[in-house]
Amino acid sequence: MADYYKILGVSERASQEDIKRAYRKLAHQYHPDKKGGSEQKFKEINEAYQMLGNEEKRKQYDQFGHAFDGASRDRGFGGFSSQGGAPFGADFGADFGDVFEEFFSGFGGMGRTSQRRERSRGSDIAVAIDVSFAESVFGSKRTLVLEKTARCVHCGGNGAEPGSALKTCGTCRGSGTIRETRRSIIGSFTTLGECTLCSGSGKIPEKKCDSCKGDGAVRKNETIEIEIPPGIRNEEAIKLMGQGEAAPRGTAGDLYVKIRVLPHPIFRREGNDLLMDLTVPYTALLRGGEQIIETLDGKIQVKIPELSQSGDILRVRGKGIARQTSQFRQSISGAARGDLLIVLKQKLPKKLSSRARKLLEDLSSEGL
């Protein structure tokens, strides 16, 4: 019997992790379906790992040497029955699974189960646009021109010249998938892949569309209207379903429009409220009064209460931002709005006249 430690290229003091690492490397290297692989070598590697990868079997192997035949020589390589093809135990675990998955890499990464695939779907598109602060508050409409793969208008996306019918694909016989069976030393495996002739639709045109040559999609510039809903926030996105890249005789992806809101020189956002600073003379805070201010809705008149303090806030109801909560914004007409919050700031003069100094002295004598 061969020396299992020598087969895996590890010492007798190697840890279980070292043995597992050595096995995985060699199993990948000598897999029969890989270039330069060897069925005999692969069998020896798996037999060695069956012994040394199990701590109990390894102890007995170390104690009794080659006299111990814990691998049961009547079995096939790697713990697979020579009569069947199913695993007899769980000694391989995820390790043999790695080799198994690599074997299937030639099938496009599909798994072991055969399920009919969905029709092709085009890629999503993501773009970003800048909008003014006022547009983010009240909403607006924008027009985008995108170069993308779009559904062929001439044939309606089915790939057939108008007046020509669709017929069952002769390659996949209408199933949209191709069954492929591959035999190997570990058994026969059947996989299903998308039919490349009909792109998974199961139908092909009797006469191909003159415009798209039967693909059902063409590359072109497409104009897209975008409605920016009121109340949208900076970095939020608008999702337009089916406006992404089209797939040959399949479904189109989605378009995501990321909104970048440009800052405003006066207003700032806090939740659904708008904030602005209003700087007034010190006397206006003391005496109070009325003042006309410019808002996003136009000019309004606000009342400053007597003996106001710098930092006080005046609230104007319903002059804020529309309240919305959807993740991907949709326009909501008549949405309730937040408030406009006006933060009072004290304006101090840079110079004082002699008369102003005298008035301040009089105010100081009054405790002001």
Q: Report the C-alpha gap between 308 and 283 in whole angstroms.
A: 10
198 is in an annotated binding site: yes
| Single-letter code of the amino acid located at 228 | I
Beta carbons of 106 and 180 less than 8 angstroms apart: no
The side-by-side arrangement of strands in the sheet containing 237-240 is 125-131, 255-261, 237-240
* DSSP assignment string, 108-129: TS--SS--PPPPPBPPPEEEEE
126 is in an annotated binding site: no
172 is in an annotated binding site: yes
Q: Report the C-alpha gap between 141 and 232 in whole angstroms.
A: 13
Q: What is the token pair recorded at 364?
A: 């100081």
* DSSP assignment string, 244-260: S---TTSB---EEEEEE
Q: What is the token pair recorded at 186?
A: 């570990």
| Single-letter code of the amino acid located at 144 | L
Which helix (DSSP H) or strand (DSSP E) does residue 165 occupy? none
195 is in an annotated binding site: yes
Q: 């069976």: which residue's tokens? A: 181
169 is in an annotated binding site: yes
CA 290 vs CA 99, 239, 301, 306: distances in Å = 81, 45, 7, 10
Q: 């304006």: which residue's tokens? A: 347
Q: What is the token pair recorded at 168?
A: 């069952």
* DSSP assignment string, 20-87: HHHHHHHHHHH-TTSTT--HHHHHHHHHHHHHHTSHHHHHHHHHHGGG--TT-TTS-GGGB-SSS-SB
152 is in an annotated binding site: yes
Q: Report the C-alpha gap between 246 and 257 in whole angstroms.
A: 17
Beta pairing, strands 255-261 & 125-131: parallel
| Binding-site positions | 152, 155, 169, 172, 195, 198, 209, 212
Annotated binding site for Zn(2+): 152, 155, 169, 172, 195, 198, 209, 212
